[in-house]
Amino acid sequence: MALATVLPELFSGSTPLPAFVLNPGLLFLLFLGYGVAVLLVREVAVRCRVGLAGLFVLGLGYSILNEGLLARTLIRQTGLPVPLYDRFGYLGGISLPWTAGIGTWHACASVWFPILLTHHLFPQFRATPWLR
């Protein structure tokens, strides 16, 4: 859960390392938005035995939750984290290029990498649900 909380924000440059140390409230919010959500994604993936492709699809779903409902960037026309996407490729009020890009990013950086790294470090728990 710690990896899922920190990795995407650090790798994207959205949150610099000192912010995690200087602002524990931010760390807690990111923990809820990333760590807890990715733990639940992992549980579904393990219990349903979805494999890597299924885990990626669950990551896309997580991206819709994170960017669509929490950050609301999927419906924003301006002020996107990557300004090149401002007012670009909108259909039905959703930026399709931004949705595809950030969806792939979250599926990989927020879900795949932390879960696969954890499974690599602790292979004995790879197929074991962590929640009851």
Domain-located, residue 131:
no
pLDDT value at residue 18: 86
Domain-located, residue 6:
yes
Rounded CA separation 13/116 (Å) = 22
Domain-located, residue 132:
no
The secondary structure of residue 32, as a DSSP letter, is I
3-state secondary structure of 15: coil
Domain-located, residue 99:
yes
Domain extent at residue 48: 2-125
Tokens of 28: 């807690």
Number of domain units in the chain: 1
Average pLDDT along the chain, 132 residues, taken 10 residues at a time: 79 82 88 91 98 97 94 93 93 95 95 95 96 92
